[in-house]
């Protein structure tokens, strides 16, 4: 089993974030272990790269220029974990607000195994901004 060193984890995150910025789903997926587990902010759980690809394909294809702006990255080399806080900016898909600028803040907990992300847990604030208005999210799984 390959453990990444601190600097390698930072370099991984830089490459992975570039894939997000480029809206390149396959390169984003390259950062995941084949049997990755993704837990979204609503509690929805996906297992495996193929499930994530299926769930995210439409989002990436109609991305509208979304971006995740890194705020802070904390690396725990010993535990092989990264805590990454971010700000999302992109078009809203909410009913009645579709296409308006959506802004939300969140945190991802990433657990690495053999140099790839094995677990991705996403936590998001439920008070977001859409078109300059504060909106409380109502999660649906």
What are the pLDDT digits (tens) for 124-138?
998 999 999 999 987
Are 60 and 77 spatial neighbours (Cβ–Cβ below 8 Å)? no
CA distance 6 to 76: 7
Q: pLDDT tens-digit profile of 74-107?
A: 999 999 999 999 999 999 888 788 889 999 999 9
pTM above 0.85, yes or no: yes
Domains and CATH numbers, the chain: 6-136 (3.10.450.50)
Residue 104 contacts residue 122 (beta carbons within 8 Å): no
19 SS3 class: helix
Give the tens place of pLDDT for each residue, 30-56: 999 999 999 998 889 999 999 999 999
In the structure, what pLDDT confidence band is assigned to residue 139 with cuts at 50, 70 and 90? low
Residue 90 and residue 66 in contact, taking contact as beta carbons nearer than 8 Å: yes
């Amino acid at each position: 089993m390959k453990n990444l060193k601190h600097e390698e984890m930072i370099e991984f995150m830089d490459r992975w974030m570039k894939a997000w910025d480029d809206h390149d789903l396959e390169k984003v997926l390259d950062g995941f272990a084949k049997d990755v587990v993704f837990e979204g902010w609503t509690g929805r759980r996906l297992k495996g790269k193929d499930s994530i690809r299926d769930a995210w394909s439409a989002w990436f294809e109609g991305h509208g220029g979304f971006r995740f702006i890194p705020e802070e990255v904390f690396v725990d080399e010993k535990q092989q974990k990264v805590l990454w806080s971010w700000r999302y900016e992109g078009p809203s898909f909410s009913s009645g607000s579709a296409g308006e600028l959506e802004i939300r803040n969140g945190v991802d907990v990433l657990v690495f195994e053999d140099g790839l992300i094995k677990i991705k847990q996403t936590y998001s604030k439920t008070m977001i901004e859409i078109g300059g208005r504060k909106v409380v999210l109502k999660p649906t799984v």
